[in-house]
Amino acid sequence: MRNQITPPAVSLEGQRRADLGNGTYLNPVFAGDHPDPAILRDGDDYYLTFSSFESTPGLIIWHSRDLLNWQPLGPALSTPIGCVFAVDMCKVDGRYFIYIPIIPTAISPDPTAPVLTYVIHAESMAGPWSEPINLGIEGHIDPGHVVGEDGSRYLFLSGVSRVRLTDDGLATNGPVEHVYDGWRYPEDWVVEAYALEGPKLTRRGEWFYLTTAVGGTSGPPTGHMVTVARSRSVNGPWEDCPRNPIIRTWSADEPWWSKGHATLFEGPNGQWWSIYHGYENGFATLGRQTLLEPIEWDEDGWPRAVGGTLSAALPAPLPTVSATGEQPHGSPLSDNFSTERFGTQWSFHAPSNDEYLRAFFDGGLVLQAQGSGPSDSSALTCIVGDRRYEITVEMEIGDGAQGGLLLYYSDRLFCGMGHDGGSMTSYRAGRAIPYWREPAPAARTMHLRIVNDNHIVTQYYSLNGTDWTRHGLRFNVEGYNTNTADELLSLRPALFAVGTGEVRFTNFTYRAF
């Protein structure tokens, strides 16, 4: 019997655990593509979410009490409304809010609209969340919420501009106005672009601290950086930190590149931290990973990042809940498709509004085929954070359909294999390879395997899952990253079904090595 999929569901793994179990941790705290971390502290509880762009379901909410071991609560945005950029989360008067900048796409309420900011709200971080409300703010990304010394609510925006909100936080209460020009780095620094963005507000004592990002989020490894200004009022004037930038990749020899988009916050036992993203040196394919760095305050009240290059183990936030066995971090990525894991493991890339209707459970995950190839089929993807791994899946191919397994960066850049029951199609650099005919046998049941070993991709196929044939081509996918594709995404395992008919997927396995 068909079991229709309804978003959302169960869980995802963070590979390369941060918590070492001995009072220390290693970065990243979230391996793989977890960019623009937005964090909210609510008593002893901490919540995180990340930019989800065109992945749907989006805005997965994660929960922790020790900053190292996180579990997913589920997606806050189950219905696609566009390309979701960096958000901010807050709690005011017992209600939770997420402010969401949207770049319109074909599925947006108005695909021709400018960049817009929406808000959703809920009584619990686990949801249910309200329908998105358009705030009417145009042309800005990266909202940062703050309650001023006057008790009023404000959103700071890229630029840096600011708009006052109504007391319920669901509408604006005044014009958008420019309020801060940003700190300027020396002209000879090698960066992508100035790009003043990511304003986050933190109150400590009598000061409001405004954390921003400049330098661009990709391109040169020394581009992105974290700058700080402060004021006793949300109305300014803003004084720049004399040690700006407080966080930056200074050399391409460092383990983490393009570090930026930070939030300062107080953690357990009064410790202070900065959470931000960065690219792993040599592994931009994994996307922007989430980094956690301790913060100290100098005698003049300015923050100082004290994690060095993040190459060594650092003292863990205390207490670490995992030491008591109360909460692990994530869960395995292998999936037998016996339960729904949409929104916490699997997501559609650039889906239509009714994409879920083509997916259901019936002895596995069944995808109704659509499109002519992976570029227009809305592939089903999951985030991974390992440098070396293998993925395997079994599929049953219906008449008229082609199913397959990919490493998928975007609809313009992917590689892998597809089979239509008669022959195999090989994909490379975002297209079917016209010059290569892999001599795979005709079969309605096919097992596929892809091994990614430090960017070197080897593929296999099998009729029984035991006797494997190596695909005749190997690929190097090191260039499948933002500096090639000009999209802020990551290389991910993906399933696809194109043509007509259906493809049933079973026994998806993931193994890091």
Contact call for residues 279 and 329 (beta carbons, < 8 A): no
Residue in 13, 19, 33, 36 annotated catalytic: 36
Contact call for residues 424 and 418 (beta carbons, < 8 A): yes
pLDDT, position 308: 97
pLDDT band at 326 (very low <50, low <70, confident <90, very high): low
Residue 356 has pLDDT above 90, yes or no: no
Q: Kindly report, residue by residue over 359-368, the tens digit of the pLDDT.
A: 999 999 999 9
Residue in 54, 66, 197, 502 annotated catalytic: 197
pLDDT, position 15: 55
Q: Name the CA dihedral angle for 478, 483, 486, 492, rounded to a multiple of 10 degrees.
A: 30
| The model's pTM | 0.95
* Spatial distance between the Cα atoms of 88 and 198, rounded to a whole number of angstroms: 10
3-class SS at 485? helix
Pick the CATH number of 32-324 from 3.30.420.40, 3.30.565.10, 2.115.10.20, 2.70.70.10: 2.115.10.20
Contact call for residues 125 and 47 (beta carbons, < 8 A): yes
For 140-172, b where at least 16 C-beta lie within 10 A, e where not — what string?
bbbbbbbbbeeeebbbbbbbbbbbbbeeebeeb
Q: Kindly report, residue by residue over 427-444, the tens digit of the pLDDT.
A: 999 999 999 999 999 999
Percent of the chain residues past pLDDT 70, beyond the cut = 95
Mean pLDDT of 416-433: 98
286 phi/psi in degrees, rounded to 5: -80, -5
Catalytic status, residue 36: yes
From 210, 256, 259, select the one nearest 233 (Cα to Cα).
Answer: 210
Mean pLDDT of 224-240: 98
From 345, 487, 410, select the one nearest 57 (Cα to Cα).
Answer: 345
Question: Residue 171: which residues within 8 A CB-CB, separation 6 or more?
Answer: 133, 135, 136, 165
Q: Kindly report, residue by residue over 144-198, the tens digit of the pLDDT.
A: 999 999 999 999 999 999 999 999 999 999 999 999 999 999 999 999 999 999 9
DSSP string, 363-394: SSEEEE--SSSGGGS--EE-----SEEEEEEE
pLDDT, position 477: 98
CATH fold of 347-512: Jelly Rolls (2.60.120)
Question: Residue 279: which residues within 8 A CB-CB, separation 6 or more?
Answer: 218, 221, 256, 257, 258, 286, 287, 288, 289
Residue 404 has pLDDT above 50, yes or no: yes
Mean pLDDT of 275-292: 98
DSSP code of residue 272? E
Task: Indicate the domain borders of the chain.
Answer: 32-324, 347-512
Mean pLDDT of 491-499: 98
Contact call for residues 213 and 204 (beta carbons, < 8 A): no
Domains 32-324 and 347-512 share a fold: no
From 217, 215, 218, select the one nearest 182 (Cα to Cα).
Answer: 215
Instruction: Look up residue 483 and give its two tokens.
Output: 């500096």
What mean pLDDT value characterizes the chain? 94
Catalytic status, residue 299: no
* Spatial distance between the Cα atoms of 416 and 449, rounded to a whole number of angstroms: 9
Q: Kindly report, residue by residue over 2-29, the tens digit of the pLDDT.
A: 444 333 333 334 456 798 889 999 999 9
* Spatial distance between the Cα atoms of 96 and 89, rounded to a whole number of angstroms: 7
Cα angle 339, 52, 482; round to 5? 120
Mean pLDDT of 53-76: 94
Q: Kindly report, residue by residue over 248-257, the tens digit of the pLDDT.
A: 999 999 999 9
